[in-house]
């Protein structure tokens, strides 16, 4: 098939690379020329494990190219995937300007019978508005992604479900066929991406293909993310109770997660969730509910707990360090999670900036996100070239992202406070002179 992908962010670039490596002719479309140039050189505009290898292979085999020209990308495409950004507005609702702008521009060049697919997360009801912008001869489908940054490639190959919503069964079946081609080439794609250790899992994977109504499909994605965010905030709420009672959150949630009705995923207490999905999807769901006269107080509480965690960890540590005035603090981790350079809603950045406000001297380091984090950091924060430089002579080390690169360093340092903001480390594995601070455990 001939596929066009509008938007070269995490979702769009991953989709373009994987569909191109599944034998399809793919054109990546973005109005940012820097992203176009990056893709055409076989490089992702961001860090994501395995993606550069897939892009380079697809570009070299001439299965993938990138352009900023809508007509060039759209006019011959059988399937057009819209994966543009939906940033949140100040009131928490989703900014759909890019969604509608992309549809309007694409509509001028769509051929009869083409399938226009919305992969970006949008509020329920958005699809009906987009349909009004497209020619009558074009089919519209919703096909949200369920990828996690840092594992986007393997999440695509080890999918648990592909959900498609729309009114044309023929179009739905054609989009399922596109995804099934990925399943057919999954082991080859994994090998190119350097994920050979996942080959057996891929062979045994039994992901489902689910067809639903347009409105249901739009709500499925945001509901899934909101529920996972709620699990994180629930664990963090219990962690606060553990701190007051002497219980250990890791023991509590490990046992809770053994209940097959609950599951252990996303029950890890820590500095809270961040990134481009959970915060935006939670606030977007709240705003969507309010616009429809529905009170989602459970999600409002989820949001409030998450926003409290950086300050909670700082306050908990303050008593052990004797306040932050004139103290030197290292913050390790600026990406919102390990394995990515994405710093959107990063707890590490929030913690670093709060520490500056409290009078500390702050040094930060991240293996992939130093440059991306710079505009969001206070001017007086020193960005270190290595983790070792950041922690040298520090009064406390806040580990805010669980990069494996930090392990050996953290296990060897002495005579300081280690604030384990994600409960990554076993306190007993640290040097005896280290004063350990965890979340819901000490």
Residue 17 has pLDDT above 90, yes or no: yes
pLDDT category, 15, cuts 50, 70, 90? very high
Closest by CA position to 351, among listed 339, 342, 340, 364: 364
Count of domains for the chain:
2
Does residue 242 form part of some domain?
no
Instruction: Indicate whether 35 and 151 sit together in one domain.
Output: yes
**Could you tell me the residue range of the domain that residue 414 belongs to?**
247-442
Place of tokens 């999905």: 277
Does 7 score more than 90 pLDDT? yes
CA-nearest of 133, 108, 109 to 118 is 133
Same structural domain, 257 and 368: yes
Task: Tell me which H or E stretch contains 236.
Answer: helix 214-245
Residues 6+ apart with CB under 8 A from 90: none
Q: How far apart are the first and last CA of the chain?
A: 56
Same domain flag for 205 and 281: no
pLDDT surpassing 90 at residue 182 = yes
Q: What CATH number does residue 145 fall under?
A: 3.40.50.720
Shared-domain flag, residues 278 and 154: no
In this prediction, residue 411 carries a pLDDT of 92
Residues 255, 310, single domain; the answer is yes
| pLDDT digit string, tens, across residues 349-395 | 999 999 999 999 999 999 999 999 999 999 999 999 999 999 999 99
Residues 80 and 154 in one domain: yes
* Position 92 confidence tier, pLDDT thresholds 50, 70, 90: confident
In a domain, 228, yes or no: no
Beta bridge partners of 163: 210
**Shared-domain flag, residues 274 and 192:** no
- In a domain, residue 282? The reply is yes
Do 311 and 408 reside in the same domain of the chain?
A: yes
Note whether 155 and 284 are same-domain residues.
no
Residues with Cβ within 8 Å of residue 259, at least 6 apart in sequence: none
Q: What is the pLDDT of residues 267-290, one digit of tens each?
A: 999 999 999 889 999 999 999 999
User: Residue 379: inside a domain, yes or no?
Assistant: yes
* CA atoms of 148 and 274, how far apart (whole Å): 12
Strand pairing partners for 139?
Answer: 115
Both structure tokens of 40 = 């055409």
Interhelix angle 278-291/297-321, rounded to 10 degrees, is 140
Distances in Å between the Cα of 427 and the Cα atoms of 215, 264, 401, 432 are 48, 21, 17, 9
Q: Are 52 and 125 contained in the same domain?
A: yes
Whether residue 225 has pLDDT greater than 90: yes
122 close to 218: Cβ distance less than 8 angstroms: yes
Residue that finishes a domain, picked among 190, 212, 234: 212
User: Which runs of consecutive H residues, i.e. helices, occur in 248-329?
Assistant: 249-257, 278-291, 297-321
Model pTM score = 0.89
DSSP structure string for 329-392: EEEE--SSSTTB---TT-HHHHHHHHHHHTT-EEEEE-TTTHHHHGGGS-TTPEEPSSHHHHHT
Catalytic residues: 277
Looking at the fold, whether 204 and 64 belong to one and the same domain comes out as yes
Residue 380: CB atoms within 10 A of its CB come to 10
| Residue 409 main-chain phi, psi, to 5 deg | -65, -45
Tell me the percentage of the chain whose pLDDT exceeds 70: 100
Residues 13 and 69 grouped into a single domain: yes
- For residues 408 and 405, give the distance between their C-alpha atoms in angstroms, rounded to a whole number: 7
Q: Coil, helix or strand for 21?
A: coil
């Amino acid at each position: 098939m001939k596929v066009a992908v509008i938007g070269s962010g995490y979702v769009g670039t991953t989709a373009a690379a994987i569909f191109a490596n599944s034998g399809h002719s793919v054109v990546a479309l973005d109005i940012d020329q820097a992203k176009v140039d990056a893709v055409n050189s076989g490089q992702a505009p961001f860090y994501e494990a395995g993606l550069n290898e897939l892009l380079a292979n697809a570009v070299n085999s001439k299965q993938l190219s990138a352009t900023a020209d809508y007509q060039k990308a759209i006019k011959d495409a059988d399937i057009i995937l819209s994966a543009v950004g939906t940033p949140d507005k100040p009131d928490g609702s989703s900014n759909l300007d890019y969604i509608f702008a992309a549809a309007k521009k694409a509509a001028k060049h769509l051929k009869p019978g083409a399938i226009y697919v919305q992969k970006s997360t949008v509020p329920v009801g958005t699809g009906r508005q987009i349909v009004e912008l497209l020619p009558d001869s074009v089919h519209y489908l919703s096909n949200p992604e369920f990828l996690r940054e840092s594992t986007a490639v393997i999440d695509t190959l080890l999918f648990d479900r592909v959900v498609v919503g729309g009114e044309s069964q023929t179009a739905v079946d054609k989009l399922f066929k596109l995804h099934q081609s990925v399943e057919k080439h999954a082991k080859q794609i994994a090998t190119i991406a350097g994920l050979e250790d996942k080959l057996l899992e891929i062979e045994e994977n039994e992901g489902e293909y689910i067809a639903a109504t347009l409105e249901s499909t739009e709500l499925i994605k945001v509901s899934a993310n909101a529920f996972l965010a709620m699990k994180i905030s629930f664990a963090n709420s219990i962690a606060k109770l553990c701190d007051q009672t002497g219980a250990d959150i890791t023991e509590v949630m490990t046992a809770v997660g053994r209940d097959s009705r609950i599951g252990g995923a996303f029950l890890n207490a820590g500095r809270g969730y961040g990134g481009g999905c959970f915060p935006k999807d939670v606030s977007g769901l709240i705003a969507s509910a309010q616009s429809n006269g529905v009170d989602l107080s459970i999600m409002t509480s989820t949001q409030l707990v998450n926003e409290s965690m950086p300050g909670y960890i700082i306050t908990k540590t303050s008593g052990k360090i004797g306040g932050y005035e004139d103290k030197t603090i290292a913050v390790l981790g600026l990406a919102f999670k390990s394995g990515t350079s994405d710093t959107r809603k990063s707890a590490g950045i929030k913690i670093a900036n709060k520490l500056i406000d409290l009078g500390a001297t702050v040094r930060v380091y991240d293996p992939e996100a130093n440059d991306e984090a710079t505009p969001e950091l206070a001017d007086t924060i020193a960005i270190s070239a290595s983790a070792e430089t950041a922690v040298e002579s520090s009064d406390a080390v806040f580990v805010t992202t669980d990069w494996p690169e930090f392990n050996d360093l953290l296990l060897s340092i002495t005579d300081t406070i280690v604030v384990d903001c994600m409960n990554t480390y076993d306190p007993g594995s640290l040097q005896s002179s280290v004063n350990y601070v965890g979340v819901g455990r000490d």
